Amino acid sequence: MAKKIACVIGSGAGAGPIIYELSKAGFQVIVLEKGPWFETKDFSKDEIALTRRSVVTPNLMDEPQVLEKKDHKNQWVAKSNFDTGNDFWNGSCVGGSSNFMSGYFHRMKEMDFKLLSKYGPIEGSNVVDWPIDYNDMEPYFDKVEKIVGVSGRLVNHKYQEPRSQPKFPFPPLAENIVSEWIDKAAGELGYTMIPVPRAILSQASEKRMPCYYSNYCGSYGCSSDAKGSSRAALINIALETGNCKVTPNAKVFHLKTNGKGKVVEAHYHDIDGGNHVIKADIFVVAAQAIESSRLLLMSKNEDFPNGLANNNGQVGKNLIFSAGGIGSGYLHYKDLTDNDAKKLSIPGVFVNRGLHHFYEIPQEDGTMTKGGSVDFLFEHANPIGRSIRRKWNADGDLVYGSALKKKIYHYFNDLRRLKFEIFVDWQPNDDCFVSLDPEVKDKWGDPVARIRLGHHKHDLKVGEYIAEKCEEILEIMGAKNISSNINGSAPSNLQAGGCRFGKDPKNSVLDINCKAHEVDNLYVSDGSFMPTGGSVTYTWTIYANAFRVADAIIKRFNI
Amino acid sequence: MQNKTESDWHFSRRKFIKGALTIGLMSQIPFAVSCVQTTELDEVLIKIGDKTYTIELKFIQDVQNIIFPEDEFGPGASQLKSDSYLIWVLKDDRIDPWDGTQIIKGFSRLNNRCKKQYKKKFIDITKAQQEELIAQISLMDWGQSWLSKLLTLIFESMFANPNYGSNPDGIGWKWLNHNAGFPQPTEQQIYPTILNTIQHNKKS
Ligand SMILES: Cc1cc2nc3c(=O)[nH]c(=O)nc-3n(C[C@H](O)[C@H](O)[C@H](O)COP(=O)(O)OP(=O)(O)OC[C@H]3O[C@@H](n4cnc5c(N)ncnc54)[C@H](O)[C@@H]3O)c2cc1C
Ligand code: SF4
């Protein structure tokens, strides 16, 4: 029997497990990736190329997105991010943003699957339970640990997720002395700190080398393949099967259906402006949440006048991000012994400390509300970025000349900034969604995504509560200038939702296996399916779910 | 993870004040942004669209050396070769013409003010007068945002790999005892060359 052909659109975290599993199972897998193909040898620690210019993301002049935010009069105002610089692209190349993530990895917990039934409704929030539970996902979280590679160390704490394996397949990464200090300070307050699992290999595995503590991780490609990018961990293996072909610089703009509820062709633009068609039996979209919704909305026809799989008007709705915020304090070397100061200043090794103590927060009436998690980390090494923030004094005035140089020298040599990042649920709501902009087009003439970025005030309350607790930890550690900032801004790199899965087609786009309710052979395997995100970073869940979807596809179409 | 809400590497174009340059590949840019230097490098011609601007190299250097001088704390803009870096940025045909124009207009605005105040060009007044003028404009909205942008580009020049033509022998890194990370980009890997290297090598 002829091999089934699967066309996968995108090649990041949501696509990798599909590409890997289907190629291994003998499907013919065609990957259409919008961006170019960087290999491991192409990556370097070039702050200019990776963080200051559009090299791994599209130029906003070519491919803007339109963001809608409320102004001071409480009115929605739409602006192109070409004008504002508020870039929501995260990595457009083979492997997608997973090449550039930091790999802080947390599983979702049991209660994350049942927010509505466990904590009750919240006015103005479209919160729902997931149609599956933690037990359905556990084998896939486990699979990610082994195949993508997760390093870490388990400690007992009250919110530890049930696990099928007693330990991580890779031992924890090396840590800075500050991790001990955090443990001690948190211990004084009665909290157990958790060594943060990372999608980073601490030991070599197959062709991937271990982490060499390059000190430039988040935003940079990994030169040892230790980082669990979809490219290094999954696509490279899929290519070895001979069943997988990756076409870079292929931007899919239309999915054509046959009038009988099936997609038959993916249409894409190439880099030179030419258009091409790929025919396949199965289509899997994983272009990251915003762009996946955009592609479905663009794929209109007689059967789907509002966009593919959108006859119930759900595509693009209930977009979510990771809510929360950040805080920090400064550890001054002069306050420490020479030995401790020296150890604190060692670059590269990680902090890797997380706090899950406030995953639930007790309420005055004795009930619990859903809380969040925290990752402690050092400020990223990026010296240009760090210098830029020194240009301004406390009053917001520009500092320049010798005064600025003194400030920069002091900042680089006399202290280290310890940060915490707080992650809480983003309540899905009617003011957070993707649509097509009626005017702005990309360089190919396709309508760009318009993203309304409304948050729910509940998320801020939870974030503020946790920030206060984290500030106390930094205080005990002797940090100076402690501050935090919880706000409703959407972190562009942690996006999900827009095509949520569920049992009822009236309020979901995808079924339990992430197949579109309305389309027989269309799957969406990136974070779009998530009705709620858990109070953790998303990528472990995205990877795990994509492995689950791959199993469902193989079971259904197996040759 | 790198929470982009804090945006240390994420910058704003129209929000010129605290932003850096937003520059990237734009294939069908309607304006040609080019820069021609005289052989003595005493004047820089910059063409944006149908307009050509001329800036004396010394003007760029004088301003940069006031906002980032060589002093007891470490090297200044001259040692870092921030002048040629700025010219390289203005020469980049992927630059948003609006950004380049704002930088150039800042120089002419400063010169106009100087001529009004001192009846001379900026490069012809004394160092103390130059410093006074910079101090004055640093308190004005336009001046603050312009100087801020120039500083951002000085920082870029200070920490860029020397293949970019600035930060010779890594003096910027050495000054701050900064570990620049490994591997560093080859000439083929720096921006914008990398865009062509990758796309042509890996078309499909
Ligand atoms: C700097 C940074 C740090 C991060 N740190 C963490 C972290 O510590 N922990 C964590 O859990 N997560 C982290 N993330 C987030 C993580 O990278 C994403 O959650 C994950 O990669 C999302 O997977 P995805 O498949 O949805 O999207 P991506 O991995 O971005 O892949 C989408 C791909 O689709 C392609 N595409 C888009 N449109 C089209 C189209 N029309 N046709 C063809 N291809 C298309 C894109 O070019 C891209 O390659 C980080 C992200 C960034 C940028
Ligand atoms: S070597 Fe380690 S620190 Fe560096 S990018 Fe790879 S995983 Fe990150």
In order of start, what are the domains of chain A with their CATH numbers?
1-56+91-151+218-319+494-559 (3.50.50.60), 155-196+322-425+455-489 (3.30.410)
Surface-to-core class of residue B51, CB atoms within 10 Å of its CB (0-12 exposed, 13-18 middle, 19+ buried): exposed
Q: Tell me, yes or no, if B177 comes closer than 8 A to chain A by beta carbon.
A: yes
Contact A380, A388 (CB under 8 A): no
Q: Is B134 in Cβ contact with A402 (below 8 Å)?
A: no
Question: Within a domain: residue B6?
Answer: no
What letter would DSSP give residue A293? H
Whether residue B12 and residue A84 make contact (CB cut-off 8 A), yes or no, is yes
pLDDT tens-digit profile of A145-158? 999 999 999 999 99
| Pocket probe mutation, ligand 1, options A89, A539, A541, max atoms within 8 Å of Cβ | A539
Q: Is residue B115 part of a domain?
A: yes
Taking 50 as the pLDDT cut, the residues of chain B under it are 2-39, 203-204
What's the pLDDT band for A292 if we cut at 50, 70, 90? Answer: very high
For the stretch A408-433, pLDDT in tens is 999 999 999 999 999 999 999 999 99
Q: Mapped to the 3 state alphabet, what secondary structure does A336-376 carry?
A: CCHHHHHHHCCCCCECCEEECCCCEEECCCCCEEECEEEEE
Question: CA A134 to CA A160: how far, in whole Å?
Answer: 13
Average pLDDT of chain A to the nearest whole number: 97
Residue nearest to atom 4 of ligand 2 (CA): A214
- Tell me the three-class secondary structure of A421-466, residue by residue: EEEECCCCCCCEEEEEEEEEECCCCCEEEEEEECCCHHHHHHHHHH
Chain segment B167-198, per-residue pLDDT in tens: 999 999 999 999 999 999 999 999 999 998 88
Distance A433 CA to ligand 1 centre (A): 18
Q: Does A55 touch chain B (CB under 8 A)?
A: yes
A247 in contact with B at a CB cutoff of 8 Å? yes
Establish if A407 touches chain B: CB-CB under 8 angstroms.
no
Residue A277 has a CB neighbour count (10 Å cut-off) of 11
**Bridge partners (DSSP) listed for residue A553:** none
Residue B203: predicted pLDDT:
45
Mean pLDDT for the stretch of residues A543-559: 94
pLDDT tens for residues A505-520? 999 999 999 999 999 9
* Cβ distance of B68 and A401 shorter than 8 Å: yes
Instruction: Tell me the average pLDDT across A120-144.
Output: 98
What is the predicted ipTM?
A: 0.94
The dihedrals phi and psi of A421, each to the nearest 5 degrees, come to -115, 130
The pLDDT value given to residue B94: 83
Query: Which residues in chain A (454-513) have CB-CB distances under 8 A to chain B?
Result: 485, 487, 489, 491-494
- Please state which of the ranges A135-139, A440-444, A522-526, B31-35 shows the lowest mean pLDDT: B31-35
**pLDDT of the residue at A272:** 87
- Answer yes or no: is pLDDT of A243 > 60: yes
Instruction: Give the nearest ligand 2 atom to A200 CA.
Output: 7
**CB atoms < 10 A from the CB of A473, how many?**
29
Which residues on chain A are in Cβ contact (under 8 Å) with B148?
391, 398
Q: Does residue B73 sit in helix, strand or coil?
A: coil
B23: in domain: no
CB of B68 within 8 Å of a chain A CB? The answer is yes
Looking at the domain assignment, is residue B129 inside a domain? yes
CA B3 to ligand 1 centroid distance, Å = 14
**Is residue B17 included in any domain, yes or no?**
no
Number of structural domains (chain B) is 1
pTM for this prediction: 0.94
A190-229 residue pLDDT tens? 999 999 999 999 999 999 999 999 999 999 999 999 999 9
Among B67, B178, B185, beta carbon nearest to A400: B67
Q: Distance from first CA to last CA of chain B, Å, rounded?
A: 31
Would B48 be classed as within a structural domain? no
Q: A9: helix, coil or strand? A: strand
Residue A345, pLDDT above cutoff 80: yes
Distance (Å, rounded) from C-alpha B138 to C-alpha A393?
Answer: 13
Q: Does some domain include residue B66?
A: yes
Domain of B67 in residue numbering reads as: 58-199
Residue B91, pLDDT score: 82
Residue B137 to residues B13, B16, B125, Cα–Cα distance (Å): 21, 15, 16
Rounded Cα distance between A364 and A250, Å, is: 54
Domain-located, residue B22: no
From the CA of A226, how far away is ligand 2's center (Å)?
6
Q: Which atom number of ligand 1 is nearest to the Cα of residue A91?
A: 30
Q: Does B200 touch chain A (CB under 8 A)?
A: no
Spatial distance between the Cα atoms of A439 and A97, rounded to a whole number of angstroms: 28
pLDDT tier for residue A2 given thresholds of 50, 70 and 90: confident
